[in-house]
C-alpha cells in the first residue's frame, strides 16, 4: 500500500461561509459594510486556513481551493428548482463578502495554492475531478468540507492503493473507506526481511509507515472520530432520500390526511432507505454505482421501492430516480462533457505536485505578507471578552502584607537529613 503525502481539496463555499457567520454582528448596518469588518473577515480566513495547514503539514504537501461558479444543474433541470429554497441573508453586505473572498483567493494562489473555478461547475464538481485525476495517478486526497454530498467521493483504489477521505474539521470527523484504520495500523516494514531493510534502508515500506503514523498521530492529537463507510451504500440511500438543503425531493413523496382533516407530507426517510437497501441486497446481493446508469436496473430498483413504500407508481419513481441521479451523483456520466473536459484540462495545466514552500501558508502573517491587508488584520482581533457584560468591581489598593512572628537577624540553617519531629 503506497500511503504518501496527500493533496488537500478545500470546498471554498464551506470554508468561506462557515467563517463569515462567526463574525460579530454590527450594532447597525450590514455585516462587512466597513473596512474594519472586512479586515476581521480576512483575518478570520487567514488564521483558520493557516491553523489547518499546521495540523496537516506532516502528510499534506499540496492544496487546492475549489470555487463555485453558476451551476450547470440549474440550466439542465429548471423544473427541479435546484437550490431554489436558498435565500440570501439580507443583513450581510454580499458584494463585500465576495470581494474579500476573491482577494483571499489571489493571495493564497500567490503562495502556491491552486485555486480553481470552472465556468458552469460547482466546487463539488471541481473537487470530484481532482479526486479522480489524482487517485488515477496514485495520489491520495483529503476533502475538507462540511457538505455531506462530498462524502460520496470517499474511496480506496485497489489498482494503485490511493484513497480519498472526507474531513469535517468543525465536527472533528474523518470519513474513510472500510478497513482504513486497519490499514493505517498495519506496519509495512514488518512484512519485509531484515536484509531488505539493511540494503534498501526500508524504502517505500518505511515511507508508508512514516505517513501512516503521521495520519494517526493527527487523528489522536485532534481527537478526530473516524467513520468508515461503504460509499456505494451511502450514494444509494442519498439518492432515495434527496437533499432538502439543495431542494432535491425524495424519489417518493405522498400525502396523508390527518384526524384534523389537514394533509401531511411524507417522503423516504433515512430509516426507510435502510429498509429499501436491505431488500435490494437480499434480492440482488450486490450494488455498485454503475447499476444506476442502466434503464433496466432502474426498473428493478423502482419496483423494490414501490413494494416497500406502497405509494405513487413505478413509472414516476423511475423518473424521480433519474433526476436525483443526475443532480446528486458526482460521476463522469452525470457531469456534462464540456464541463468535465474543462475541469480535467485545468488540472493537467496547473497541477505541479506539491507546494514549493508550505511555510508561507502556515501563519496569518506569512499569508498576508506583502499585501495591504496585513496591518488591518493584525488590528482586527474580534475575540470576545469572556468577562464582557459582567459588573466586576474595581479592586481596592491593599496595604503591604504584614509579617507574622518575630524577625530574626540570623537565618538558621537546618540539616535536611534530620526529622522534623
Residue 2 has pLDDT above 90, yes or no: no
Residue 225 vs residues 78, 181, 222, 243, 276: alpha-carbon distances, Å: 39, 11, 9, 24, 28
Contacts made by residues 318-321, CB under 8 angstroms, sequence distance 24+ = 320/249, 320/250, 320/251, 320/252, 321/239, 321/251, 321/292
Prediction pTM value: 0.84
The C-alpha atoms of residue 149 and residue 250 are separated, in whole angstroms, by 15
The C-alpha atoms of residue 369 and residue 159 are separated, in whole angstroms, by 43
Residue 256 vs residues 250, 252, 264: alpha-carbon distances, Å: 16, 13, 5
Span 35-43, mean pLDDT? 94
Percent of the chain scoring above 70 in pLDDT: 83
pLDDT band at 383 (very low <50, low <70, confident <90, very high): low
Span 97-107, mean pLDDT? 96
The C-alpha atoms of residue 48 and residue 103 are separated, in whole angstroms, by 16
Please name the residues in contact with 78: beta carbons below 8 A apart, sequence gap of 6 or more: none
Q: Are 284 and 300 in contact (CB under 8 A)?
A: yes
Find the Cα–Cα–Cα–Cα dihedral 312, 315, 321, 323, rounded to 10°.
-110
The C-alpha atoms of residue 265 and residue 399 are separated, in whole angstroms, by 74
Q: In CATH, what class is 6-230+336-379?
A: alpha beta
Return the pLDDT at 404. 39
Q: Are 267 and 252 in contact (CB under 8 A)?
A: yes
pLDDT band at 1 (very low <50, low <70, confident <90, very high): very low
Residue 397 has pLDDT above 80, yes or no: no
394 SS3 class: coil
- The domain limits of the chain are 6-230+336-379, 236-328
Q: Are 339 and 120 in contact (CB under 8 A)?
A: yes
Residue 383 vs residues 24, 309, 373: alpha-carbon distances, Å: 9, 51, 18
Burial of 53 from C-beta contacts in 10 A (0-12 / 13-18 / 19+): buried
Residue 51 has pLDDT above 90, yes or no: yes
The C-alpha atoms of residue 382 and residue 361 are separated, in whole angstroms, by 21
Compute φ and ψ for 85, nearest 5 degrees. -90, -5
The C-alpha atoms of residue 356 and residue 353 are separated, in whole angstroms, by 9
First-to-last alpha carbon distance for the chain, in angstroms, is 67
pLDDT band at 208 (very low <50, low <70, confident <90, very high): confident
pLDDT band at 403 (very low <50, low <70, confident <90, very high): very low
Return the pLDDT at 412. 41
What value, to the nearest 5°, has the Cα angle with vertex 404 and ends 398 and 407? 115
CB contact burial 205-215 (16+ within 10 A = b; e otherwise): bebbbbbbbbb
Amino acid at each position: 500500500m503506497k500511503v504518501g503525502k496527500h493533496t488537500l481539496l478545500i470546498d471554498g463555499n464551506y470554508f468561506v461561509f462557515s467563517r463569515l457567520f462567526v463574525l460579530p454582528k454590527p450594532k447597525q448596518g450590514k455585516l462587512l459594510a466597513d473596512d474594519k469588518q472586512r479586515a476581521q473577515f480576512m483575518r478570520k480566513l487567514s488564521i483558520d486556513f493557516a491553523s489547518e495547514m499546521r495540523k496537516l503539514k506532516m502528510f499534506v504537501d499540496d492544496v487546492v481551493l475549489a470555487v463555485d461558479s453558476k451551476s450547470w444543474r440549474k440550466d439542465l433541470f429548471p423544473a427541479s428548482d435546484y437550490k431554489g429554497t436558498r435565500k440570501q441573508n439580507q443583513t450581510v453586505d454580499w458584494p463585500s463578502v465576495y470581494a474579500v473572498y476573491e482577494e483571499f483567493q489571489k493571495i493564497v494562489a500567490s503562495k502556491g495554492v491552486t485555486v480553481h473555478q470552472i465556468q458552469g461547475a460547482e466546487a463539488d464538481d471541481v473537487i470530484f475531478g481532482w479526486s479522480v485525476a489524482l487517485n488515477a495517478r496514485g495520489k491520495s486526497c483529503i476533502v475538507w468540507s462540511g457538505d455531506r454530498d462530498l462524502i460520496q467521493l470517499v474511496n480506496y483504489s485497489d489498482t494503485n492503493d490511493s484513497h480519498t477521505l472526507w474531513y469535517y474539521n468543525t465536527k472533528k470527523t474523518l470519513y474513510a473507506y472500510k478497513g482504513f484504520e486497519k490499514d493505517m495500523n498495519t506496519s509495512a516494514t514488518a512484512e519485509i526481511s531484515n536484509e531488505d531493510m539493511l540494503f534498501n534502508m526500508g524504502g517505500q515500506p518505511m515511507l508508508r509507515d512514516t505517513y501512516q503514523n503521521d495520519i494517526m498521530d493527527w487523528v489522536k492529537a485532534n481527537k478526530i472520530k473516524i467513520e468508515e463507510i461503504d460509499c456505494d451504500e451511502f450514494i444509494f440511500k442519498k439518492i432515495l432520500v434527496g437533499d432538502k438543503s439543495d431542494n432535491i425531493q425524495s424519489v417518493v413523496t405522498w400525502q396523508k390526511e390527518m384526524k384534523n382533516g389537514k394533509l401531511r407530507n411524507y417522503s423516504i426517510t433515512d430509516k426507510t432507505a435502510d429498509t429499501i437497501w436491505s431488500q435490494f441486497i437480499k434480492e440482488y446481493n450486490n450494488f455498485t454505482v454503475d447499476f444506476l446508469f442502466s434503464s433496466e436496473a432502474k426498473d428493478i430498483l423502482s419496483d423494490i421501492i414501490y413494494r416497500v413504500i406502497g405509494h405513487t407508481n413505478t413509472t414516476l419513481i423511475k423518473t424521480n430516480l433519474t433526476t436525483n441521479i443526475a443532480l446528486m451523483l458526482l460521476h463522469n456520466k452525470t457531469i456534462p462533457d464540456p464541463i468535465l473536459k474543462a475541469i480535467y484540462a485545468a488540472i493537467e495545466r496547473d497541477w505541479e505536485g506539491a507546494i514549493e514552500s508550505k511555510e508561507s501558508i502556515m501563519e496569518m502573517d506569512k499569508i498576508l505578507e506583502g499585501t495591504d491587508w496585513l496591518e488591518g488584520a493584525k488590528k482586527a482581533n474580534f475575540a470576545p471578552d469572556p468577562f464582557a457584560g459582567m459588573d466586576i468591581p474595581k479592586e481596592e489598593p491593599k496595604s503591604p502584607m504584614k509579617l507574622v512572628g518575630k524577625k530574626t537577624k540570623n537565618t538558621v540553617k537546618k540539616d535536611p537529613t534530620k526529622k522534623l519531629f
